[in-house]
């Protein structure tokens, strides 16, 4: 995890993304933070001490994170991002993980889709399941098609 997490509810959120990342892309992680520390989340095969709730990818952080923030923000009605839709569907989730305790970690990469696959595979291998708000693996490939280095292999041959 990088040292810098961006608080989704921060009024300077957009300006920070524009200033630091311009139109870059990569993966983004939604992280639960309380009192300045990532929240501990129990998983099937262990404890996630980094507080990862969701991992996604984008070719432009600014465009995708705008959608994520709007879909998650209280009082804003939007179903355009998987995380925000699930977050708002269950009031107890919002109580357990308040909006002002949601942060974003941005990791730049020239191949965001492959980077996301590797990160999700690492998470899956470590915890036996995907982050709580990731419903499915990016397609293709399936888990069986991943090589040991996390890259996808052709099933055609």
Report the alpha-carbon distance of residue 124 to residue 134 in Å, rounded: 11
Residue with the two structure tokens 């009082």 = 75
Q: pLDDT at position 142, please?
A: 53
pLDDT by residue (tens digit) across 13-72? 989 999 999 889 999 999 999 999 999 999 999 999 999 999 999 999 988 998 899 899
Distance CA 73, CA 116 (A): 24
Predicted TM-score (pTM) of the model is 0.84
Q: Which residues of 26-45 are buried (b: 16+ CB within 10 A; e: fewer)?
A: bbbbbbbbeeeebbebebee
Domain extent listing, the chain: 6-138
Burial of 6 (0-12, 13-18, 19+ CB in 10 A): buried
Q: What is the pLDDT of residues 69-109, one digit of tens each?
A: 989 999 877 777 889 889 999 899 999 999 999 999 999 99
Q: What is the 3-state secondary structure (H, E, C) of 87-129?
A: HHHCHHHHHHCCHHHEEEEEEECCCHHHHHHHHHHHHHHHHCC
């Amino acid at each position: 995890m990088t040292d810098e997490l961006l608080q989704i509810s921060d009024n300077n959120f957009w300006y920070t993304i524009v200033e630091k990342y311009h139109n870059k892309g990569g993966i983004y992680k939604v992280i639960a933070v309380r009192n300045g520390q990532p929240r501990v989340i129990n998983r099937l095969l262990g404890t996630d001490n980094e507080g990862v709730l969701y991992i996604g990818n984008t070719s432009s952080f600014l465009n995708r994170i705008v959608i994520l923030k709007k879909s998650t923000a209280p009082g804003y009605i939007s179903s355009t991002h998987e995380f925000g839709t699930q977050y708002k569907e269950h009031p107890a989730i919002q109580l357990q993980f308040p909006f002002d305790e949601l942060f974003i970690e941005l990791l730049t990469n020239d191949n965001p889709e492959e980077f996301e696959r590797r990160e999700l595979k690492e998470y899956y291998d470590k915890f036996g399941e995907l982050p709580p708000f990731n419903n499915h693996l990016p397609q293709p490939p399936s888990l069986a098609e991943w090589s040991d280095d996390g890259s996808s292999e052709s099933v055609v041959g």
